[in-house]
Amino acid sequence: MTALPDIPLPAGIRSRYVDGINGLRVHVLEAGFETKGRPCVLLLHGFPELAFSWRKVMPALAAAGYHVIAPDQRGYGRTSGWSADYDGDLAPFSLLNLVRDAFALVSAFGYRQVDVVGHDFGSPVAAWCALIRPDVFRSVTMMSAPFGGPPPLPFGTVDAPAKPAIEDPVHRDLAALPRPRKHYQWYYSTREANADMQQAPQGVHDFLRAYYHHKSADWADNKPYPLQSWSAQELAKLPTYYVMDLKETMAETVAKEMPSPAAIAANQWLPEGELAYYSAEYGRTGFQGGLQWYRYGTSGTLINEMQLFAGRSIDVPSCFISGKQDWGTYQRPGVFETMQARACTKMLGCHLVDGAGHWVQQEQPAEVSRLLLDFLARAGTA
């Protein structure tokens, strides 16, 4: 195996590998490892990110006395043992198996209880960790993607006439709009999506630069608000990185929002040297490993499997942190409200951080670190 280049990490964070984790060799970033017996915080990244996305909050958590573990999740980065074959089995990318990955990792480190934090697609993994194994995942912080609870199971239907399964009409309706559109998660589920990004005309580096910019607080038009319904008319109000023009790829979509050379040079939260690590990793691995998560989610399998937990809630201390300029909070209408009303019974705080878009822990790491440490103290898990 060719030696991979060093990762541009802050002092106090080390890179290591852990073998035998649910069939994976997991690449982990670790802080606060110098002394044994610390409480553990597990950090789960989203798409298109890596464990590296936690580099700015890990030192603060370690300085406060925590052992901090951030893996490259299944399908990503330097973790190996997964297949990104488009025609292969999607079962390894089910949420149940991603929870098993997290459980196996903290067990390998010798922890019976941990606090779990997830961002973007890592947020539902963290949420399901806390719902399925509250004895292990004793608190949960969800970032950028609120959790609306398990899908409901049909109830009280014994004397009702049988109803045929109905396809969600929203995709047909989006395509029929005067400005035809498509939802990014269903685009990410297509065979072409990986090549569209890995072989982007502008190159992976510039693709990621534009993608990260478009979803950040630096893009001036990110002014999110709640949508009224899961309908084409409402979803069409979302920016094109969520509801794309029908005929465009994601690379074409974000190319229109590429920041100027001056803006790139002035960027403090993701300078070129740090973006270069992301672009090198995705240039090497491609995006399909992460896209498999979307394919599982849009296939209907997620609903079928997770109906097993219908009616259950997250009953451990919970927290939600998102950027004030992040549409992710509202991209599924009503979920942000349902999370607070029903899905989490011990919600200790919902925080929308000004000056942050979707990449909240990278854009505003000091405030995110403060909110995390405050929540962990209030949750009483230390």
Q: Residue 161 carries which DSSP code?
A: P
**1 pLDDT band (50/70/90 cuts)?**
low
H or E element that contains 278: helix 272-285
Q: What is the dihedral of CA 88, 93, 94, 98, to 10 degrees?
A: 150
Residue 381 has pLDDT above 80, yes or no: no
Residue 174 has pLDDT above 80, yes or no: yes
Whole-angstrom distance, CA of residue 90 vs CA of residue 256: 33
Domain ranges (residues) in the chain: 13-152+306-379, 170-290
So what's the pLDDT on residue 342? 96
**In contact, 244 and 187? CB cutoff 8 Å:** yes
So what's the pLDDT on residue 189? 97
Whole-angstrom distance, CA of residue 271 vs CA of residue 37: 35
In three-state secondary structure terms, 21 is: strand
Mean pLDDT, range 354-382, rounded to an integer = 94
How distant is the alpha carbon of residue 252 from its chain centre?
22
Query: pLDDT tens digits for 341-352?
Result: 999 999 999 999
Residues across the chain:
382
In three-state secondary structure terms, 211 is: helix
Those residues with Cβ within 8 angstroms of residue 173's Cβ, 6 or more apart along the chain or in another chain: 231, 232
Query: pLDDT tens digits for 33-52?
Result: 999 999 999 999 999 999 99
Give me the residue label for tokens 């290591």. 16
pTM of the model: 0.97
So what's the pLDDT on residue 165? 74
So what's the pLDDT on residue 382? 46
Mean pLDDT, range 120-128, rounded to an integer = 98
For 178: left if phi > 0, alpha if psi spans -120 to 50, otherwise beta; the answer is alpha
Q: Residue 20 carries which DSSP code?
A: E
Phi, psi of 364 (to 5 degrees): -135, 65
Q: Which CATH superfamily, name and number, covers 13-152+306-379?
A: Alpha/Beta hydrolase fold, catalytic domain (3.40.50.1820)
What is the residue-averaged pLDDT of the chain?
96
Residue type, 187: Y
Tell me the two tokens of residue 228: 């009224």
In three-state secondary structure terms, 22 is: coil
Query: pLDDT tens digits for 208-267?
Result: 999 999 999 999 999 999 999 999 999 999 999 999 999 999 999 999 999 999 999 999
Alpha helices in 161-219 (DSSP H): 170-175, 184-187, 193-198, 204-214
Residue 163 has pLDDT above 90, yes or no: no
In three-state secondary structure terms, 285 is: helix
Whole-angstrom distance, CA of residue 13 vs CA of residue 98: 24
